[in-house]
Amino acid sequence: MSYKSLRACVNDLEKHGRLVRIKTELDPNLEIAEVHRRVYDAGGPALLFENVKGSPFPAASNLYGTAERTDFIFRKTIDKVQKVIELKADPMNFLKQPMRYLGAPLTALSALPMRSRFSTPVAYGETTIDQLPQIKSWPDDGGAFVTLPQVFTLPPYSKQIMQSNLGMYRIQLSGNDYIPNEEVGMHYQIHRGIGVHHTAYNETTEPFRASVFVGGPPSHAFAAIMPLPEGLSELTFAGMLGGRRFRYATKNNFYLSSDADFVITGIIKKKEKKREGPFGDHLGYYSLAHDFPVMEVEKVYYRKDAIWHFTVVGRPPQEDSSFGYLIHKMVKLLTPQEFPGIKEINAVDAAGVHPLLLAIGSERYMPFREPKPEEILTQANRILGTGQTSLAKFLIIAASNDHPDLNTHDISAFFTHVLERVDWRRDLHFYTQTTIDTLDYSGSGWNAGSKLVIACHGPKLRALGAELPTDLQLPAGFSTPKFVQAGILAIQGPTFDPAAPGEDIKALANQLATYNWDNIPLIVVGDDSPFLTETLNNFLWAGFTRANPSHDIYGVNSSIQHKHWGCTGPLIIDARIKPHHAPPLIGDPTVMKKVDQLFAKGGDLHGIL
């Protein structure tokens, strides 16, 4: 079925027992987010908060809270969309499998955006920024944010809808130095399409108009984050995935999404910036306050039955993990076309997506001699030079030749495969003094840090073990060695000392050199080794979000050969929290206690999980 509005989707989910209404008045300041997190963690239903304190509008979240519910929402269209994306990426697919792609051109043509000539539901009424649900998710957030915005812009002087960019860029509604109801913050990062438009407007006298859509059919929000093949418009994609053409109108020289629940129109001040943030982000830490563009608000429109669509992000997995699930589902067949020789890519959600990327490539260069990483290094460079995958910090790539059934989504098995074969003297490739994800504060500066490619190809070099040397002695301050899994050892270290960075890890490496580590190739030093080893997700999150490769990688018996660093003993990752890191996300104890009571027996929310 196609949803004409967010309300239609909410009603459909409720009809099928996949959504609950919460009638109790809840505070958008931390309370609603805490309820959302509890329900998400329990695998619970979608939520409609009917009584948001301080706002006349209801709010919906957790629509995509499970992969199964995400599939349900797009159950009628996802297969058709997948075929169009495949055909757009490689038109020769039509000649190879004409029956599979027979209806794909019609799907795309019938989904082209259309101008609303008689009805623009979103223009039903006007309101102000402070009347919108002021959702604040974490205690140190700088204010309320739009967490599922669809930001629409056009190039200077253009009125061609197919030249538009629709992206999901964080919008701060309140707090900091923004003038209430007159200004909002516009946060966007590197590799974002709106930046191209901003650059172009800076060269003109044309005002940089932007429209922020909230709500509408679920496909609209998803279109704003979908990495699309060149030439495929986000608006067309929204129409295909929604089974309904994206409808738009113009008013006061601004573009409105006719089916949206809310539209905020305004002008981005080309030369002005203000502090935006902090914001509890999807890496599980705060994105700190930095200067970002400001949008001067012109109007805030809403539809008659408007619902504020939001989500709550934090340490993954969270609801936005379903976006990654759906993206992978639709584009998995495109990977070999986008990245020649690559079989599979997994931006690991549990590690915050960009900090850790796993890939399976192929070696075809020299099949007649001893195998070693060659072509997969070329493929790694392609990955790090392309779009969003260029933000990967740790890229671990293995050749499928060694294991045809290798799977990047079986993460434990993937690490086993790599650690059985890796040669730390040869297989480490650093990229220093480069850019990393804007939200990653493990680097040497804002948006600055390093990358590490670990490339693995060849026969097994070792059998992995999970037994410590019987006479193991650790330096003072190091304790509690525990295994994440065979071959990966976590050690609890002393608090990081910025006055002597790395000196204690070097002392550890020197002492470990006196033992036999043939079966344990990887050691992770953290602040809490029991936490690191409690779950695989804990290892992935703490181990890769808290390390800057050029600064935090050490090794037992390390050396430099012609500017190439390596080691003959275990590789050591210093995954301790450093003073320059952003703080991790921790809920407000008072709010958590109140929400405990709401879910307790006799509480207003008892029984919804």
Q: Which residue has the higher pLDDT, 537 or 389?
A: 537
The confidence score (pLDDT) of residue 144 equals 98
Nearest to 326 by CA among 222, 250, 454: 222
* Mean pLDDT of all residues in 496-514: 95
The confidence score (pLDDT) of residue 444 equals 83
**pLDDT exceeds 70 at position 341:** yes
Please give the C-alpha separations between residue 239 and each of 226, 248, 296, 520, in angstroms, as whole numbers: 13, 12, 29, 52
Residue 459 and residue 130: Cα distance in Å, rounded?
62
**pLDDT exceeds 60 at position 78:** yes
**pLDDT exceeds 80 at position 67:** yes
- CATH number corresponding to 322-456: 3.40.1670.10
DSSP 475: P
Fold held by 6-73+111-309: Pnp Oxidase; Chain A (2.30.110)
* Mean pLDDT of all residues in 238-255: 93
Are 471 and 511 spatial neighbours (Cβ–Cβ below 8 Å)?
no
- Average pLDDT value over all residues in the chain: 92
Q: Point out which residues pair with 279 in neighbouring strands.
A: 287
**pLDDT exceeds 80 at position 84:** no
The confidence score (pLDDT) of residue 206 equals 95
* Strand pairing report for 308-309 and 290-302: unpaired
Are 70 and 62 spatial neighbours (Cβ–Cβ below 8 Å)?
no
The confidence score (pLDDT) of residue 346 equals 92
Contacting residues for 457 by C-beta, under 8 A, at least 6 apart: 363, 371, 372, 373, 374, 376, 398, 399, 401, 402, 421
* Mean pLDDT of all residues in 160-180: 95
Element spanning 331, H or E: helix 321-331
Per residue in 26-64, pLDDT (tens digit) is: 999 999 999 999 999 999 999 999 999 999 999 999 999
Are 28 and 144 spatial neighbours (Cβ–Cβ below 8 Å)?
yes
**pLDDT exceeds 70 at position 108:** no
Q: Determine what percent of the chain is predicted with pLDDT higher than 90.
A: 77
Residue 75 and residue 31: Cα distance in Å, rounded?
32
The confidence score (pLDDT) of residue 507 equals 96
Residue 536 and residue 519: Cα distance in Å, rounded?
19
The confidence score (pLDDT) of residue 230 equals 67
> Which pLDDT band, with edges at 50, 70 and 90, does 94 fall under?
low
**pLDDT exceeds 80 at position 98:** no
Query: Please, what is the angle between helix 234-242 and helix 78-89, to 10°?
Result: 150
**pLDDT exceeds 90 at position 126:** yes
Structure tokens at 281: 């982000």
**pLDDT exceeds 70 at position 106:** no
**pLDDT exceeds 60 at position 190:** no
> Which of 5-14, 290-299, 395-404 has the weakest average pLDDT?
395-404
Strands (E), 283-334: 286-287, 290-302, 308-309
* Mean pLDDT of all residues in 582-603: 95
* Mean pLDDT of all residues in 313-335: 85
> Which pLDDT band, with edges at 50, 70 and 90, does 102 fall under?
low
> Which of 25-39, 297-311, 327-341 has the weakest average pLDDT?
327-341
The confidence score (pLDDT) of residue 229 equals 67
**pLDDT exceeds 60 at position 575:** yes
Contacting residues for 272 by C-beta, under 8 A, at least 6 apart: 293, 294
**pLDDT exceeds 90 at position 560:** yes
Domain segments of the chain as ranges:
6-73+111-309, 322-456, 479-574
Residue 379 and residue 336: Cα distance in Å, rounded?
11
Per residue in 419-448, pLDDT (tens digit) is: 999 999 999 999 999 988 888 898 888 888
Backbone φ, ψ for residue 166 (5° rounding): -120, 115
The confidence score (pLDDT) of residue 192 equals 63
* Mean pLDDT of all residues in 533-554: 97
The confidence score (pLDDT) of residue 104 equals 64
**pLDDT exceeds 90 at position 395:** yes
Amino acid at 162: M
Q: Determine what percent of the chain is predicted with pLDDT higher than 70.
A: 95
The confidence score (pLDDT) of residue 101 equals 65
**pLDDT exceeds 60 at position 191:** no
Are 529 and 483 spatial neighbours (Cβ–Cβ below 8 Å)?
no
The confidence score (pLDDT) of residue 105 equals 66
- Residue 479 CA from chain centroid, whole number: 34
- Residue pointed to by tokens 């730390």: 424
* Mean pLDDT of all residues in 389-413: 93
The confidence score (pLDDT) of residue 338 equals 76
Per residue in 438-489, pLDDT (tens digit) is: 888 988 888 889 999 999 999 999 999 999 998 999 999 999 999 999 999 9
The confidence score (pLDDT) of residue 355 equals 94
**CA torsion, points 561, 565, 571, 572, in degrees to nearest 10?**
130
DSSP 401: G
